[in-house]
Chain A
Amino acid sequence: MKLFDIADVIRSKNAGPYELTFDIIFKEFDMYRKVWENKVFNKQSFAKLYNIKEDDIISIVNFDPAKAIKITIARPICSGDLGETDVYGAQQHSPLIGFEFDM
């Protein structure tokens, strides 16, 4: 299954200068619950997608009112440090666009 086909919103943004947060807002409530309950997004799958350490994942939470799953990670570098490529963190979502999974 392709995340792109079942999500309305796929976005990334800084949550303060040291964290990067990803929001996935689903089209349908039932599909959102199914993805959440099947733990499609877990530390292991997200760490693999971004090739980061599982320890860098701060939280994976859900939010019923928005039909949303939210993943927050430690930014690889603090916003604006030397080596920065996206100060606002608003364009770090593309691996999620290509994300496919079985459920």
Chain B
Amino acid sequence: MQEMRILSPTAILGYGFPMESFQRAMDLNPHVIAVDAGSTDPGPHYLGSGKSFTDRNAVKRDLSIMIPAALERGIPVIIGSAGGSGADSHLDWNVDIIKEISKELNIEFKLGIINSELSKETIKNKLDSGDIRPIFPAKQLEERDINESERIVAQMGFEPFIKALEMGAEVIVAGRAYDPAVFASLAVKNGYDIGLAVHLGKILECAAIAATPGSGSDCMMGFLGEDYFKIMPLSDNRKCTTLSVAAHTLYEKSDPIHLPGPGGELDLTNTTFEQFNENTVIVKGSKFVPSVQYSLKLESARKTGYRTVSIAACKDPIMINAIDTIIEEVKAKVKSNFANFGMDDFFLDFKVYGKNGVMGIFKNLPKETSHELCIIIEAVAKDQKQADTICSFARSTMLHYGYEGRKSTAGNLAFPFSPSDFSVGEVYEFNMYHLMDVDNPADFFPISVKNCKGGELA
């Protein structure tokens, strides 16, 4: 079996890569260039709003290099989780960039587009037939959750990519995808071991992060054989070591041995990591165990309101000492001021940096206090104007609040900016993290392959 070479140019499409690394990778004649373009890491805003968390120019820069280089060698480019979250609006955004590139560089290719956004009706029907279950610690799904969703996506496995390749696509841009799928699909299509292909994909999806020193914006190459894979960075100042690669297997996963994905589980019980040469690691023994029931992971977000924040700080030791009480008293004043004004439904929070602000989600930890505090006042309400009002009032109340023992009577807060308040816009929360059992996963990921030329699809 001939060795297959899979190039991952960057950890997330738009994070960039050095041209020297990319050129060196292309000199090794890869069989495919694949890239993961998304993550739930940046939070629910991007899936909810339909916007990308990566920058348009940065994504265009990466693709303007990758696509012509791949076409020149007759190898495919495969992009997964387009636009960061993979819903239809994200996919359209990425397709638009690709069309623009075809026009500006005067290149022509077959573009495969794979959607992953699901309708509320589809999800409701699957809920009714008992096919949706929560992934702990998410709660059981209810019809209300579906109604509140802004958009719902399912993570596709490698099957839709294989189909798009069979349909003749030269560039594939897909909605939400299981991260390793973009790297593994051509290998699985060509008969390579699924366990090794998926494990290699798990490492390649973060590109050079698995090397040492790690980087999210540098290339990594995978070499897949019959019973092994090798992983190698493309920059002289990085190395893959058994430790860096094994450590990456832990990254962002809850269990490093059993890694579930669409259609089955990656089992690393018998996996070995060995140093192949100075900068390359060879991995053997990873297995793919198909599941009896194929299930898809669902993600969705719902809108919870609009946010305004104000950034302030304080240095006064008397105030710092009494900060918890002051915050409670300011909150009470804000509440009572608007109670009879039809504004009683809002969220008001003070994130106090310098007093366990970073770990504020753990409520019961001891609070060490610094000599100065940064206070972020946050208001979330049903519309932007109300959020502005609550934040503004909380800020002015805190600025002039006459707390007990005060000596600094001119003002309690130092504002680094004018204006001091920032209207941030819509706020979303994740409201779906569930598995949906399906008989035929292909039904949920429609594929179209079109000719892309001069900025048009035909």
Contacts and interface: CB of A to CB of B under 8 A. Distances in A.
A14 B251 CA distance: 9
Contacts of A15: 252-254
- What secondary structure prevails in chain B residues at the interface with A? loop
Nearest to B251: A13
A74 B349 contact: no
B18 interface: no
Contact of A76 (B41, B136, B362): B362
B429 A80 contact: yes
A78 interface: yes
Contact of A65 (B138, B251, B271): B271
B247 interface: yes
B365 A95 contact: yes
Interface residues of B, number: 45
Contact of A82 (B246, B247, B273, B429): B429
B361 A18 contact: no
Interface in B131-150: 135-138
Contacts of A14: 40-41, 252
Nearest to A72: B254
B364 A66 contact: no
B294 interface: no
Given A17-B40, A51-B364, A87-B43, A25 B252 contact: no
Interface in A6-48: 9, 13-19, 21, 23, 25
Contacts of B45: 80
B243 A61 contact: no
Nearest to A92: B359
B410 interface: no
Contact of A86 (B137, B254, B273, B361): B361
B271 A13 contact: no
B333 interface: no
